[in-house]
Amino acid sequence: MVRLVLVLGDQLSPDLSALAQADKARDVVVMAEVRDEATYVRHHPKKIAFCFAAMRKFAARLRDNGWDVRYSEYDDTHNAGSIVGELLRRADEIGAAEVLATEPGEWRLIEALNAAPVPVTILPDDRFIASHQEFESWAKGRKTLRMEYFYRDMRRKTGLLMDGDKPEGGQWNYDHDNRKPAPDQVDYSGPMQFTPDATVEAALDLVEAEFGDHFGHARPFWFATDQEQARRALTHFIKHALPKFGDYQDAMLDGNRFLYHAVISVYLNAGLLSPLEVCRVAEDAYRAGDAPLNAVEGFIRQIIGWREYVRGIYFLEGPDYPRRNALSHQRPLPALYWGGPTKMRCLSKAVEQTRDEAYAHHIQRLMITGNFGLLAGINPTALHEWYLEVYADAYEWVEAPNTVGMSQFADGGIIASKPYVSSGAYIDRMSDHCRACHYDVKTKTGQGACPFNLMYWAFLDRHRDRFSGNPRMGNMYRTWDRMDAGKRRVILDEAEAFLTALSNGDPV
């Protein structure tokens, strides 16, 4: 009996488990651009355009390789509008009674497939290094699930940067050599950019017509949209940026959106690159003497450490994880996240580039938009939806643990051992934003005081019961407690006034 083989928009890998298990001579591949996937959140137009263009190219590649592919374009008249609807329509059309699928990266879609009125066999997504079972057994019985220990297991498992059974160079982690402040000069011109071909142009036209009211613009568009282009983008990064990746991983510059970052998450998460191939070429660069160990170890850790770890947490914790709110934060998302005017230079630059590129690097997401959200007590579900919408690399399995867990502490500390909050001093140290800001980062209270300075202390004060006993936060509470009572009162009052203005929609 013929089976349908479902390939989703983020499953564009030739060795996908559903394809590997299927019979090319008999089974039929189903791919569909559908309203439900394109609108369950209002994705950035660049994300939808990337997804549709890459899906179309992948379908053509499968056909070239002899597969029978039934592909539905978004505006096909018979398009059922949902993945399950399209599976049922194709099952009817072909006379199939069974579906083979690779596990989707969001609970929402897993649940829809499990509830479909046609039997769906869901196979593990083996494009990751750790299976669900491996992560569960690693997590079982541990008091805390810190990434670092999981990462060491992934190093041993993959053999990446190993010297026998010891870590290369004698240490597992070289972060103390990283995290330098922003450099004066950047000798890298950024990620490789691709001129849209006819397939991409068609996807861009469609997205502009259908999703022109979403935040951001489809054009200009330069992402890679197939495996060959993604590999060229990777090679470009390895050659020109990897050597300095570690040093400036946490830096931010007003006039440079990418610094030495790889900008490959969009390709990795859609399946155009595999995590192991990426790590192997990075390791090769180290072994050939082309990139230092601190850079290569830091880069590999992001991929076989953080990326695998957050996926493990998402599936371990279950479907309610994205809605957790351990700190009971309820403030609605302010308009400045959608480009509303703000005098805070760091925020306006992070949001501006998010709108323009559907990309921001990790420290912009964590220490600018994330830090502000946490300090201001913004509802973490609203932030979760924002991050899912605005970034081209966002799928719930990776976005939710980063937002809800790492950035907002809304999981109560499963991922982060302390909240990622900072005053303006950190932003000033790691960037040059403050020089061009309306506010003064050195001013703690009164006219022109940096809002991060005010909100930082107000956050600690508000959550004293939860955090004052945290050994990693003791110093901060001691500093706060040593401050003159009158000064503390002024800070709390000014923070309150700032947050009220923010909620009222006043320009802040």
Contact residues for ligand SF4, defined by CB under 6 A: 344-346, 424, 427-428, 433-434, 437, 439, 441, 450-452
Record the tokens describing residue 486, joined without a space. Answer: 């009158």
Q: Does the protein bind ligand DLZ through residue 43 (CB under 6 A)?
A: yes
Chain centre distance of CA 387: 8
Q: Which residues, other chains included, contact 25 with Cβ-Cβ below 8 Å and sequence gap of 6+?
A: none
Grouping H, G, I as helix, E, B as strand and the rest as coil, residue 324 is: coil
Minimum gap (Å) between residue 27 Cβ and ligand DLZ: 18
Q: State the DSSP code for 379.
A: -
Q: Binding ligand DLZ by CB under 6 A: which of 32, 230, 398, 400?
A: 32
Closer residue to ligand FAD, CB minimum distance, 206 or 279:
279
345 binding partner (options ligand SF4, ligand DLZ, ligand FAD, none; Cβ < 5 to 8 Å by kind): ligand SF4
Minimum gap (Å) between residue 446 Cβ and ligand SF4: 14
At 101, phi and psi to the nearest 5? -135, 155
104 binding partner (options ligand FAD, ligand DLZ, ligand SF4, none; Cβ < 5 to 8 Å by kind): ligand DLZ
Q: What's the sign of the alpha-carbon dihedral 304, 307, 310, 316?
A: negative
Please, are residues 357 and 219 in contact by the beta-carbon 8 Å criterion?
Answer: no
Neighbours of 299 (CB within 10 A): 26
428 binding partner (options ligand SF4, ligand DLZ, ligand FAD, none; Cβ < 5 to 8 Å by kind): ligand SF4
Please, are residues 400 and 322 in contact by the beta-carbon 8 Å criterion?
Answer: yes
Minimum gap (Å) between residue 224 Cβ and ligand FAD: 12
**Distance between CA 273 and CA 282 in Å, rounded?**
13
Grouping H, G, I as helix, E, B as strand and the rest as coil, residue 328 is: coil
| Number of residues near ligand DLZ (by CB under 6 A) | 17
Minimum gap (Å) between residue 10 Cβ and ligand DLZ: 4
Q: Binding ligand DLZ by CB under 6 A: which of 12, 18, 53, 109?
A: 109
For residue 85, the one-letter residue type is G
**Distance between CA 296 and CA 283 in Å, rounded?**
7
Minimum gap (Å) between residue 432 Cβ and ligand SF4: 9
393 binding partner (options ligand FAD, ligand DLZ, ligand SF4, none; Cβ < 5 to 8 Å by kind): ligand FAD
Closer residue to ligand DLZ, CB minimum distance, 344 or 404:
404
32 binding partner (options ligand DLZ, ligand FAD, ligand SF4, none; Cβ < 5 to 8 Å by kind): ligand DLZ
Closer residue to ligand FAD, CB minimum distance, 27 or 411:
411
Please, are residues 217 and 312 in contact by the beta-carbon 8 Å criterion?
Answer: no
For residue 157, the one-letter residue type is K
Q: What's 171-216 look like in SS3?
A: CCCCHHHCCCCCCCCCCCCCCCCCCCCHHHHHHHHHHHHHHCCCCC
Radius of gyration of the chain (CA): 23
57 binding partner (options ligand FAD, ligand SF4, ligand DLZ, none; Cβ < 5 to 8 Å by kind): none
For residue 331, the one-letter residue type is R
Strand partners, 363: none
**Distance between CA 415 and CA 407 in Å, rounded?**
9
Binding mask 49-88 for ligand DLZ (x = CB under 6 A): --x-------------------------------x-----
Q: Does the protein bind ligand DLZ through residue 48 (CB under 6 A)?
A: yes
Closer residue to ligand FAD, CB minimum distance, 214 or 365:
365
- DSSP notation for 266-310: HHHHHTSS-HHHHHHHHHHHHHTTSS-HHHHHHHHIIIIIIIHHH
9 binding partner (options ligand SF4, ligand FAD, ligand DLZ, none; Cβ < 5 to 8 Å by kind): ligand DLZ
Which is nearest to 444 in space by CA: 431, 453, 452?
453
295 binding partner (options ligand FAD, ligand DLZ, ligand SF4, none; Cβ < 5 to 8 Å by kind): none
Minimum gap (Å) between residue 58 Cβ and ligand DLZ: 11
Closer residue to ligand DLZ, CB minimum distance, 402 or 431:
402
Interface contacts to ligand DLZ, rule CB under 6 A = 8-10, 32-34, 37-38, 43, 48, 51, 83, 104-106, 109, 395
